[in-house]
């Protein structure tokens, strides 16, 4: 099989993965928004609904980060393949990775999951922070309400422990670049 055909097949696969996880991300954001909003409303009449909000927020943050995990992977691999194809052809025929780096977020810059601060900040970064802020807001709103109403202290302790573990692992994988360093080791081995 011709090398270029293999590259194009892999690129098509990665672009398909990218679309799937974008679609899934947006669907899940809508579902999580509706659930959070419904449980905030229910909690106005039934304070025990407050227990559901931090669970939705934490689960939602992990789920959305999981989608981002695949988006980053597919963007990294798509760029790698496009560079390989351009190198094979001797010119920049494929520029999708350049457009994505400028318009969405620079894939190789330091970021908070998929949001870049500084010169790489985009609407994509804003939306990421906005969605994250909404999730954190509902999380801390519910925690504060549970605490101020002297509900279940054990639940608060457990949920805070889960939050700390989640944030710590998120920082280790995304912010420190552990995942992308693993990808780059493979790319370097096969010539990026």
Query: CA dist 103 to 18, 42, 119, 144, 150, Å?
Result: 15, 39, 12, 38, 47
pLDDT at 1 > cutoff 60? no
What pTM was computed for the model?
A: 0.87
Q: Select from 33, 50, 42, 59 the least CA-distant residue to 130.
A: 33
Q: What is the mean pLDDT of residues 6-31?
A: 95
- What DSSP string describes 147-172? HHTT--HHHHHHHHHHHHHHHHHHII
Average pLDDT over the chain, rounded to an integer: 93
Tens digit of pLDDT for each residue in 128-171? 999 999 999 999 999 999 988 887 889 999 999 999 999 999 99
């Amino acid at each position: 099989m011709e090398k270029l055909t293999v590259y194009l097949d892999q690129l098509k696969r990665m672009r398909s993965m990218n679309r799937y996880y974008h679609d899934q991300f947006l669907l899940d954001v809508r579902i999580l928004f509706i659930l959070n909003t419904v449980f905030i409303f229910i909690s106005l009449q039934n304070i025990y609904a407050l227990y559901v909000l931090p669970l939705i927020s934490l689960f939602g943050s992990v789920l959305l980060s999981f989608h981002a995990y695949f988006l980053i992977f597919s963007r990294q691999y798509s760029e790698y393949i496009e560079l390989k194809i351009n190198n094979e052809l001797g010119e920049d025929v494929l520029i999708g990775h350049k457009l994505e780096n400028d318009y969405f977020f620079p894939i190789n810059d330091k970021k908070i999951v998929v949001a870049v601060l500084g010169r790489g900040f985009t609407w994509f970064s804003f939306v990421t922070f906005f969605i994250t802020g909404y999730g954190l807001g509902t999380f801390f709103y519910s925690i504060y309400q549970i605490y101020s109403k002297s509900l279940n202290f054990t639940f608060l302790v457990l949920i805070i422990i889960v939050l700390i573990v989640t944030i710590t692992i998120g920082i280790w994988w995304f912010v420190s670049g552990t995942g992308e360093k693993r990808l780059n080791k493979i790319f370097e081995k096969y010539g990026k």
